[in-house]
Structure 1
Amino acid sequence: MKQKPARRPRTAPTISDVAASAGVSPMTVSRVINGQTNVRAATREAVNVAIAALNYSPNPAARSLAGAGQARIGLLYSNPSAGFLSEFLVGSLDGASRSDVQIIVEKCELGDHEMEVTQRLIDGGIDGIVLSPPLCESDPIIALLAEAGVPTVAVATSRSLDTMLTIRIDDRDAALTMTRHVMALGHRRIGFISGNPNVTATVNRLDGYRAALAEAGLAPDETLIAHGLYTYRSGLDAAEQLLGLADPPTAIFASNDDMAAATVAVAHRRGIDVPGDLTVCGFDDTTLATAIWPELTTIHQPIADMARGAIELLVSRIRQSKDAGPINPHRLLDFTLIRRQSDAAPRQRPRASRPLAERKRT
């Protein structure tokens, strides 16, 4: 009976151990292992001595960086939107299949154990990392990966760092486009539900909404802005806040489909017709947008395409040779406004007349 090869023991030295022994950074060790020339001879010698002394053996995938061998890519996720996550995973798996790479999917909650998960992947010799939102905004994770020299692509962030690749849409322009569309229908009191404040997409979408109002000459009304967290639950609370105003909005633009769907639910519970009495628009165009009634007018963010593109970018960087052409590190994809049944012109209501008894007294 043929025996399976023994697994690498948990106590095996890591790239971090080599770096500590040689007195250099993990990134420098990675450069030496991968044969890069931008390392001083004395430093290279120190790293090689440490590798020999610790009997360190790089992961087989790491040795295939410049070749066509199968690389291992980690995908870290922590997204409250099931619709976004499902499309993201489908796109990632499709991209991995096309590029012949292995995907390792890890749930990684911010403020919990994200550093532990990331370090475990680094120590295991991972070849590259894909960061989905909101992890794409995590400074500690980004710094750790940069220090270790692990190629990283951040999805749906407008941050432009030299240490990582990015792929996204123009969130500000998308929100500007949607708000203009709602105003073109005749709405002037437009509510907005923002998302997680620690994500650059949230800031950009809110900025786009405000910019559209400003170009139409509408004074900002902060009571029309409610804050959510991209979850359905937070959308319920935000919609209750907006629709509970003494002068509620005639339209609500939510920063994702989950919160837009929650807004429709609150409207139904209050006996408000959508779109007759209230226009509701979302963002992302996930499966939820067409799973409710009325179906949502929304911004189509090509989530699966961004995930596929992230894998392609990462594989190109991992397998980049000295003779290869330059890689565009920051890729911008197109968005589309999808109009469905949840928007309409504001209903024209006649002015309330005085009661008959009051008219007779006058």
Structure 2
Amino acid sequence: MPAEPPTAAARQGEATLQKPTKAARRKGMAVTLDEVAALAKVSPMTVSRVVNGHGKVRDTTRDRVMRAVRELGYTPNLAASALATAQDTRVALIYTNPSSAYLRELLVGALRGATRTAAQLVIDTWDTLGANAQRQAARTLAKRVAGVILPPPLCESKGVIAEFIDADVPVVAIASGRFNHDISCVRIDDFRASKEITTHLVAAGHQRIGYIKGHPNQTASVRRFEGFQAALAEAGLPLDETLVESGYFTYRSGLEAAEKLLAHPAPPTAIFASNDDMAAAVVSVAHRRHLEVPQDLSVVGFDDTSAATTVWPELTTIRQPIAAMADSAVDILLRSIRRKDRSTRMLVDHVIPHQLVKRDSVARPAR
């Protein structure tokens, strides 16, 4: 039985899907979205909507596009799509913290979050900038990024934060001691964590506990010292101001503070340094003074960075999940950037659980 002649609609469809000429195909190169659009007689934007499943497209148009895709063997460039999305969501991580161990954790988390969400991460360091220069740098940066992540101490800078808020750029602070109420925040409960590790020392029998404060320009430092004091008060122990020294979250400041504490006429039997870098410095000074840790002196830190496990003995410390906090900060920032209603600011106070990590640097005090 002879085949029926094609209908007028079929003839029209066949005429519509005419392959591009050899010149248009560029021999040896991958088929482009524009070539699919030319064959299907639609715009490149329509092809993009059909291929990516975005937007409303008529069924007849979708069928025509998909016939062209199959005929030309078109494969979407996923890398290019991801790059385009990333350019729309460029976020900056600005760093001025002197701790290299802290920086490594921040970068691991931020890079992981950016990779997972197809955001473009810009790393900027303002170590050498004063307050006025930081505000100018913030004004400049606000013109080329969609959002900003501020770890300490910049998360405490009212001037820098004000510049980004004025430019309507969303900001997420990492590891601030308190919720700011002007920007989103990812943090732990520094007060509770500090109280917990101090209670651990008291439970081990220590009554003379030295303390090394963190940098005075950070609210986390204040909250950790408040937690230390609260644990002593709860245990009925007085605060001996002569056993409290100032530090700046640096190894060098830890060395200087430890020397003063261990030169005290009645030195402490334990020292709580409010970050791991300073706690590692305490262990170094103790060894130099021929003191055994923890037999002669117990030492604890805070953060659980790599510094806690590169000394001997390894440090009992509070695990602040810095990498996870940076990862969460990227998520919060992108939700704020990509939401449809930008008439009001989205503010989030995300408190992440901490953990007391018990290692070999704590023992009962010697008689």
Relative to the length of structure 1, the TM-score reads 0.75
Mapping of residues 84-163 of structure 1, within 5 Å: 84-109=102-127, 111=130, 113-123=133-143, 125-163=144-182
SS in structure 2 of the partner of residue 280 of structure 1: strand
- Paired letter, 1:338: V
1:283 aligns with 2:302: yes
Q: Greater shift after overlay, 85-94 or 69-78?
A: 69-78
Alignment correspondent of 1:73: 91
Q: Residues 294 and 69 of structure 1: is their aligned pair in 2 closer, same or farther, counting only changes over 3 Å?
A: same
1:251 aligns with 2:270: yes
Alignment partners' CA distance in 1, 2:234 and 2:178: 26
Q: Please tell me whether the aligned partners of residues 106 and 117 of structure 1 are also in contact (alpha carbons under 8 angstroms).
A: no
Two-structure CA RMSD over aligned residues (Å): 1.7
How many residue pairs are counted as aligned between the two chains? 280
Alignment correspondent of 1:23: none
Alignment partners' CA distance in 1, 2:349 and 2:147: 16
1:67-96, CA deviations, whole angstroms, 9 ceiling, x for partnerless residues?
897410011111111111110111000000
Q: Which runs of at least 4 in structure 1 moved beyond 6 Å after TM superposition? A: none
Cα drift, residue 158 of structure 1? 3.2
Structure number with greater Rg is 2
1:187 aligns with 2:206: yes
SS in structure 2 of the partner of residue 283 of structure 1: coil
Alignment correspondent of 2:255: 236
Structure 1 gaps of 5+ residues are 1-63, 349-362
Q: Please tell me whether the aligned partners of residues 132 and 156 of structure 1 are also in contact (alpha carbons under 8 angstroms).
A: yes
1:346 aligns with 2:360: no
Alignment correspondent of 1:216: 235
Q: Please tell me whether the aligned partners of residues 70 and 100 of structure 1 are also in contact (alpha carbons under 8 angstroms).
A: no
Relative to the length of structure 2, the TM-score reads 0.74
1:238-269, CA deviations, whole angstroms, 9 ceiling, x for partnerless residues?
00010010000000000000000000000000
- Paired letter, 2:121: I
- Paired letter, 1:222: E
Alignment correspondent of 1:272: 291
1:33-80, CA deviations, whole angstroms, 9 ceiling, x for partnerless residues?
xxxxxxxxxxxxxxxxxxxxxxxxxxxxxxx9xx89741001111111
Percent identity, aligned pairs only, is 49
Cα drift, residue 108 of structure 1? 1.3
Alignment correspondent of 1:176: 195
Structure 2 gaps of 5+ residues are 1-83
Q: Greater shift after overlay, 160-169 or 338-347?
A: 160-169
Q: Residues 276 and 161 of structure 1: is their aligned pair in 2 closer, same or farther, counting only changes over 3 Å?
A: closer
